[in-house]
């Protein structure tokens, strides 16, 4: 008879060694340090290439530039957000098309693209320094205001520009916000628990039209890696209403899944994006 009953301790299954493959992380998360940590200044922005090894892409930045390649609204819901490790029980990658969602679910934005220094030079990747670092912001909760303000700002900024596409709606929805380099800084917002740090995104420099075309092409190349990183729809176990709990840790996928999802040519070629950037500004 076995000494341990696995069912009794199944709550510990998410904490330990695993031979499962890591979920792809083409884009690295930018965050604001809210409390003292080694090597980090409170109120400054960080982006880690590798958390375990303490390798930074961006360290203690008060500001930097960013060219958005993807802006995506999603909706999610957790079983109990007050818990230290709440479970994701619902996720929608297209919330405007999904009217059946649980009470308590909230929308957020993912902004993903390329990061640049204040000298408008690409931050280099640590694994391939000749290529630009790809980063993302998760704008949720109090930080979602930064996304809303940016979308209003970019709409006003680009409304007077001559279109560079053949379709007005496509120009507004898909092209316009890719026409400017964005300055990212840190601001504060009032909450019931005091002031919290938030991202402030302001369109600052117009990108030459031919470069916009190039970024559109590179965005198309990165579409599959983006979806595979951020679409968590298939990682939620559905109940009768379509809601449930995560199949497994969202940072991992099974080896069977990896084998089924062979690297596409898009993923293989994605490493070539943003290799040679001269924005002319």
Mean pLDDT split into 10-residue runs, the chain, 281 residues: 63 49 79 94 95 91 96 92 83 90 93 94 87 94 94 93 92 92 95 90 93 90 94 70 49 34 37 46 41
Q: Crossing angle of helices 223-230/209-221, nearest 10°?
A: 50
What is the model's pLDDT at position 24? 67
Q: What are the sequence ranges of the domains in the chain?
A: 25-73+98-232
Using H for helix, E for strand and C for coil, what is the string for the chain?
CCCCCCCCCHHHCCCCCCCCEECCCCCEEEEECCCCECCECCCCEEEEEECCCCEEEEEEECEEEEEEEEEEEEEEEECCCCCCCCCEEEEECCHHHCCCCCCCCEEEEEEEEEEECCCCCECECCCCCCCECEEEEEECHHHHHHHHHHHHHHHHHHCCCCCCCCCHHHHHHHHHHHCEEEEEEEEEEEECCEEEEEEEEEEEEECCHHHHHHHHHHHHHCHHHHHHHHCCHHHECCCCCCCCCECCCCCEECHHHHHHCCCCHHHHHHHHCCCCCCCCC
Torsions phi, psi for 67 (to 5 deg) = -110, 110
Distance between CA atoms of residues 114 and 223, nearest Å: 14
> What pLDDT score does 148 carry?
95
Give CA–CA dist 46/30, Å, rounded.
6
Determine the pLDDT at residue 5: 65
What pLDDT was estimated at residue 271? 38
What is the model's pLDDT at position 84?
Answer: 79
- Neighbouring-strand partners of residue 65: 116, 183
Q: Are strands 134-139 and 180-191 parallel, antiparallel or unpaired?
A: unpaired
Indicate the pTM of the whole model.
0.79
């Amino acid at each position: 008879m076995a000494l341990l009953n696995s069912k009794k301790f199944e709550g510990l299954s998410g904490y330990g060694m695993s031979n499962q493959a890591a979920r792809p992380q083409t884009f690295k998360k930018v965050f604001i340090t809210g409390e003292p940590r080694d090597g980090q200044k409170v109120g400054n922005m960080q982006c880690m290439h590798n958390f375990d090894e303490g390798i930074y892409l961006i360290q203690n930045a008060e500001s930097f530039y960013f060219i958005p390649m993807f802006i995506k609204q999603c909706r999610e819901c957790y079983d109990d957000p007050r818990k230290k490790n709440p479970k994701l029980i619902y996720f929608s990658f297209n919330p405007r098309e999904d009217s059946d969602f649980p009470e308590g679910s909230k929308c957020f934005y993912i902004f993903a693209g390329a990061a640049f220094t204040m000298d408008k030079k690409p931050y280099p990747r640590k694994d391939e320094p000749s290529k630009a670092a790809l980063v993302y912001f998760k704008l949720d909760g109090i930080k979602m205001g930064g996304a809303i303000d940016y979308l209003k700002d970019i709409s006003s900024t680009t409304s007077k520009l001559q279109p560079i596409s053949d379709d007005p709606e496509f120009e507004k929805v898909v092209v316009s916000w890719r026409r400017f380099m964005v300055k990212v800084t840190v601001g504060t917002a009032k909450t019931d628990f005091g002031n919290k740090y938030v991202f402030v995104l302001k369109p600052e420099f117009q990108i030459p039209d031919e470069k916009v075309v190039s970024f559109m092409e590179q965005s198309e190349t990165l579409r599959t890696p983006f979806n595979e990183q951020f679409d968590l729809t298939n990682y939620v176990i559905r109940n009768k209403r379509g809601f449930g709990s995560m199949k497994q840790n969202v940072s991992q996928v099974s080896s069977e899944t990896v084998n089924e999802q062979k690297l596409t040519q898009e993923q293989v070629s994605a490493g070539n994006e943003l290799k040679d950037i001269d924005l002319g500004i």
